[in-house]
Chains A and B, each alone.
Chain A
């Protein structure tokens, strides 16, 4: 009975925090829109910089869109725990008795809904813009749908470790970029394989494996990192 009550209380805490973070993101619309505008600007600069040759653009499209998505995620990552750290909310979370892992997971989910999902939804437009063949457009969206949550999950560990540093944002990018490299390679390889008419399901399988692994481990690691930063 007590266990059931605890589980119920944890579920309501998870959704209360998720709801609060989404409401805060809606109130801070500039922060919400900045990564999306950044993504649009970066992707639109490529045709201007290297010329609008349709074949060349189609070839580099997966890499360009994925790198832009990766940069846009890193820009928004620092906000994941920083305001809660600075205004004392994180201390209140620690004292609440709810596991910090659950709190980290709620915040990561909110981050993905605010920063990752818009990138996934925008990606078809960007793919058409970059002249990506229609047959690989679906794979592009799928890789982003599977890959951007991994970026938020892995990024949360870096944010947890750097949150107590004054200029943690700069160190954060150095910390997380190497960890993002495998995701970038697998995701772009999947889209390129689809463009060339080659099998790509193995790459998607790897992304699913990466998502499950990071979903299982990253909230624990982020919670441990936050504990270190708070002390």
Chain B
């Protein structure tokens, strides 16, 4: 589903991280860990195709990707349900209703509220709900557990398990406070380019 060889990304002619190679198949989870500033977010953005690698190759990459990064892609002046309805209509792929998805991520009580009035954790849940609407094969998650309470962390784990069981795959970047339980997990310790 995703296979890369020696990919690297340079910023101001300095490598952000040491070259990365891995192969990820369906039902596989790649856990990218590393210290703050080692380039986890940059790597996820390169894998998503938002940034172009300076060197290295994508041997295989599915077109069907869902991404949740630090910028959540939620409009403050739209309600939770309006944000999700837009994404469903824009992507045009979902088989699920927005109301179901909102209930699943625990935002039923605030579904009509403007996103600007939500807490950081609720905003994260709203962004995660978008993944459930998108029917994508590969999830790229950058610190999905940040700002979430214990219930939210369990929700992400449940979502992830169902996605992987349904032949999905996921690259998850985390600084290591929590790790999801999944049999086919590859660990990748990312090393900052400054260490070279």
Whether the pair B77, A28 counts as a contact (CB closer than 8 A) is: yes
A115 to B87, CA, bound (A): 25
Residues of B within 8 A of A98 (CB): 90
A231 to B54, CA, bound (A): 11
A49 within 8 A of B: no
* B4 CB, nearest partner CB in chain A, Å: 17
A96 to B91, CA, bound (A): 6
Whether the pair A12, B92 counts as a contact (CB closer than 8 A) is: yes
Residue of B nearest to A17 (CB): B90
Residues of A within 8 A of B130 (CB): 92
Whether the pair B86, A87 counts as a contact (CB closer than 8 A) is: no
Contact of A87 among B49, B65, B71, B90 (CB under 8 A): B71
Residues of B within 8 A of A89 (CB): 73, 75
Whether the pair B91, A230 counts as a contact (CB closer than 8 A) is: no
Contact of B90 among A91, A96, A231 (CB under 8 A): A96
Given contacts A23-B82, A28-B77, A88-B71, contact A231 B91 (CB under 8 A): no
A231 to B72, CA, bound (A): 18
Residues of B within 8 A of A95 (CB): 48-50, 65-67
* A107 CB, nearest partner CB in chain B, Å: 12
Give the number of residues in B that approach A within 8 Å (Cβ atoms): 30
A20 to B77, CA, bound (A): 10
Given contacts A12-B92, A17-B90, contact A91 B69 (CB under 8 A): yes
B59 within 8 A of A: no
A10 to B29, CA, bound (A): 31
A199 within 8 A of B: no
Given contacts A9-B92, A13-B90, A92-B67, contact A24 B77 (CB under 8 A): yes
* B101 CB, nearest partner CB in chain A, Å: 16
A83 to B50, CA, bound (A): 17
Contact with A along B80-109 (1 / 0, CB 8 A): 001000110111110000000000000000
Interface residues of B in 2-37 (CB under 8 A from A): none
Binding site for A on B (CB under 8 A): 45, 48-52, 63-67, 69-78, 82, 86-87, 89-93, 130
